[in-house]
Structure 1
Amino acid sequence: MTVLDFEAFYQGSAQRLMRFAYGLTGDLAEAQDFTQEAYARAWQRWRKVQRYDNPEAWLRLVVTRLATDRWRWIGVRRASPPPSAEPVPPPDEELMTLVAALKQLPLEQRRALALHYLFDQSVADIAAETGTNVNTVKSWLARGRANLATVLGGRSHVG
């Protein structure tokens, strides 16, 4: 398998294959994706593909199969009923007040409070996730709680 053989094959056939893919799909982005995928597959099998009577026909077959698979996928998606979505109630006023207050805190404090109280992460887990030490996280949490209480006017429900 030589790179030069594949490069020459690509240079000599890429424009034609792209036109074929575009004519087949009617979508430029899909045509480009299918063309790229066909050449990637040809490169992986180049020793075998280069010995075919018409390697370019093999590429067209790959593009046709990719397009067919895509059409089947779209057909299945259209035939399937959309998942029933339960209506999500709007956030309550208390939560909106808390989020507005959190936005006023420095990012590190906000992140530590969210990870600790909303995701139930331990101080050690937060330290590992943020790449800092446990004492820094404890400091962020303490300062964050104090700042949050100030922003909320002493009405903080976090704790």
Structure 2
Amino acid sequence: MAQFDGFGEFLAAHTEAWSRLAYVLAGSHAAAEDLLQNALLKTARRWRTISGYDQPEAFVRKVMYHEAISLWRRRQRLDERPVAWLPESPVGHEADSAVRRIALDRALARLTPRQRAVLVLRFYEDRSVAEAARILGCSEGTVKSQTAHALGRLRTLEPHLAELITEEV
């Protein structure tokens, strides 16, 4: 169908990166799959228009950020909470790294969706404050304050991860 010309190639080129982003935003593989699926459905419906954009992949990322916020709100209504879990006796450097990753994932899951989206944009995607503000549709001051609040909350939730959390806002 002419309506979907180039859509398959577009997916093949970007799906792996979007899957990683969805996992960071959603906090679990199942939620990440739902998040990415919803974003791609919205993209497919408007593909004829989106394919003409300079950076159509940016549209998908923006939809993912907004879907992550919606997912978080639905979870709040259902009072669904992530289960806290850490291995009891890790051994060696690899285990330390795994424990830190689990602790960080657990702490990220307890942030607001806006704070989580800001941290993903700023530190996972290495976006500037201006870029993050444009993507999220808010002011640069909001991005800076949300970044500061999110980093402070991470320090409170997981103080032993302080060396991973920089002051850079």
Q: TM-score, normalised by structure 2?
A: 0.43
Q: TM-score, normalised by structure 1?
A: 0.45
Larger Rg: 1
Higher RCO (Cα < 8 Å, 6 or more apart): 2
